[in-house]
Amino acid sequence: MENQLKNDFEKIVKTSGFSKKDIDIKKNYLNKFIKKGFPNRKLENWKFSDISQIIKKNIGELDFYNDYSFTNKIDSSIFVNGLEHNKIVFINGRIEKIEFYYEDEDKIEIIDEIELKDKPDFENSLIDLNNAFTNKYYKIVIKENYSLKKPLIIYHSTSENLQLKNINLRLDFLLKQNSCLKLVDISNDLSEKNFINTIYNFELNKNSILKNYKIDQKTNSNIKYSFNNIEQDINSVSETFILSTGSNFIKNEINCNLNGKYASAFINGILSLKEKRHHEIRTSINHLVDNTKSYQLIKSVLENDSKSVYQGKIFVNSDAQKTDGYQLSKAILLSENAEFNAKPELEIYADDVKCSHGSASGSLNQDSIFYLMSRGLNYKEAKELLINGFLLDVVEKITDSEVKNLIKNLIGVKEWTLVK
C-alpha cells in the first residue's frame, strides 16, 4: 500500500497547484498515515470496528488518486423536494455547487484559500489521510447576529461507475457571535465499494447555535468515516442528530469541547440496520469549564446479522464544576445474530457535578405485541408500532419542526388507530 499511496500522492501534487509549503505539510501527513496505517482493533477506540480489516474484506486495494479537473454532472433527483433550502453539492468528493440562494449575501462568507496546519489537532490516522489527500476545502462563515433563513443541505453523492476509490473531503464552519446555522447532511451514493473519509470542523462563538442533522439512508456497499470536531464558546448550543441506516459500514465520530461557560451539546442518534451492516457512533464530550451541559441519547434497531456500536465518553475537567452530563444507549435486537456493543465512559475530576450513563438491550416485548393484536393490529403492524414508539423518543428531540417531519417520513412513521 505504501507505494500506491506515494504514487497517487505525486499525481495529485502535479495536478493540484498546491504551494511548496502546502505540499511539504501534506507530505508530512502522508508519512504519518503510512507509518500508522488504517486503524485496527488494537486501538481502544476501534476495538469494535476494525476498519483496516473491513476495507480489506469488502473493498481490497484502494486507489487514492481522484481527478478533480473535470466537472461532474449534478443529478437533480438527489435533491430534497418540498423544503426550501440552500445547497452545497459534493460529487465524488469534488464541490460542484455552493448556493445560498435564500440568504443575505453580505452575511455569508465563503473562504476557499485556507492555510494548512502543520500539526494535527488529533492523533488520528484517518485525519492524517484526509489532510494528505483532500484536494480543496472551504470555510463557511456565518456573520454576527445572523440566522440563516433556510437550512443548508449538504449533498454527498457518487457516480455509478466509481469503484475502489478513497474519497477525502473537508469543510470548516465558523459561527460568529449570536449567529445560527441549521445544517442537514445527506448521503445519496450511487457508487459501490469506496472508502469515503469526511472531516467537518465547527467553531461556535458566544451565543451561537448549530443544528446539525446527518442522514445516511441509501443502501450501498461503501465504507465511511465521518469526524466532526465542535469547539464551543460561552452560551453556545450544538444539536447533532444522526440517522444511520444505509451504508455497509459507517463510523460517526464526534468530539465536542465545551470551552465557554453555559455551553451545551446535545447528541441524538438512530441506527436502524439490516443484513450485515455495521455502524458505530463514538462521542467524546469534554466539559472544560464550569456550568456546561451535555445530553446524549442513541437507539438502535437491529435485524439479521447487523451490528451497532456506541462508544460515548463524558470528560469533566477539574475546573468544570456544576457540570450536567447525561448519556443513554438502548437497542432492540430483532434477530439472534444481531449484535449491539456499548461502551459508556465517565472521566470526572470535579466534585460538584451531575453525570450519569446507562445502556440496555433486548428483544420486543411479546406481551405488548399480544395486547396490540387484541386491539385490531396484525403481528407485523404491532411490531412496527412498537419500533416506531421506541425510535420516536429520539426523533422528538429534534428542535426544528421541518427537519423533524423529514426524518419521520424517512423512517416511515405512521398514524395508528387502535380499536377500543
- pLDDT tens sequence across 50-60: 999 999 999 99
Q: What is the pLDDT of residue 187?
A: 92
Q: What is the pLDDT of residue 367?
A: 94
Mean pLDDT of 318-327: 97
> Grid cell 490516522 — which residue?
125
Taking only the tens place, the pLDDT of each residue in 118-127 is 776 788 999 9
Q: What is the pLDDT of residue 295?
A: 98
Q: What is the pLDDT of residue 202?
A: 97
Q: What is the pLDDT of residue 410?
A: 84
Mean pLDDT of 168-178: 96
**Weakest mean pLDDT among 112-116, 214-218, 304-308, 358-362:** 112-116
Confidence grade of residue 415 (pLDDT, cut at 50, 70, 90): low
Q: What is the pLDDT of residue 419?
A: 56
Mean pLDDT of 320-328: 97
Q: What is the pLDDT of residue 71?
A: 77
Q: What is the pLDDT of residue 350?
A: 97
> Grid cell 475537567 — which residue?
317
Asked if pLDDT for residue 287 goes beyond 90, the answer is yes
- Give percent of the chain above pLDDT 90: 78
Q: Residue 355: exposed, middle, or buried by beta-carbon count in 10 A (0-12, 13-18, 19+)?
A: middle
Mean pLDDT of 328-345: 96
Mean pLDDT of 1-30: 89
> Grid cell 465504507 — which residue?
223
**Weakest mean pLDDT among 31-45, 100-114, 401-415:** 401-415
Q: What is the pLDDT of residue 417?
A: 59
Confidence grade of residue 418 (pLDDT, cut at 50, 70, 90): low
Asked if pLDDT for residue 225 goes beyond 70, the answer is yes
CA dihedral for 8, 11, 12, 13, sign (positive or negative): positive
Taking only the tens place, the pLDDT of each residue in 125-142 is 999 999 999 988 899 999
Q: What is the pTM of this model?
A: 0.95
Asked if pLDDT for residue 36 goes beyond 80, the answer is yes
**Alpha helices, H only, 17-123:** 20-36, 51-58
**Alpha helices, H only, 37-124:** 51-58
At 94, list the grid cell.
469534488
Q: What is the pLDDT of residue 253?
A: 97
**Weakest mean pLDDT among 76-80, 104-108, 293-297, 366-370:** 76-80
CA dihedral for 312, 58, 363, 394, sign (positive or negative): positive
Q: CA dist 140 to 136, 173, 176, 201, 285, Å? A: 13, 5, 11, 10, 24
Taking only the tens place, the pLDDT of each residue in 150-161 is 999 999 999 888
Q: What is the pLDDT of residue 14?
A: 83
Q: What is the pLDDT of residue 185?
A: 96
At 197, list the grid cell.
473519509
Residue 122 to residue 104: CA distance in whole angstroms: 35
Mean pLDDT of 205-225: 95
- Between helices 379-395 and 401-411, what is the axis angle to 10°? 150
Q: What is the pLDDT of residue 65?
A: 86
**One-letter amino acid for residue 22 of the chain:** D
Mean pLDDT of 68-87: 85
Contact yes or no for 169/90 (Cβ under 8 A): yes
Mean pLDDT of 163-174: 94
Asked if pLDDT for residue 98 goes beyond 70, the answer is yes
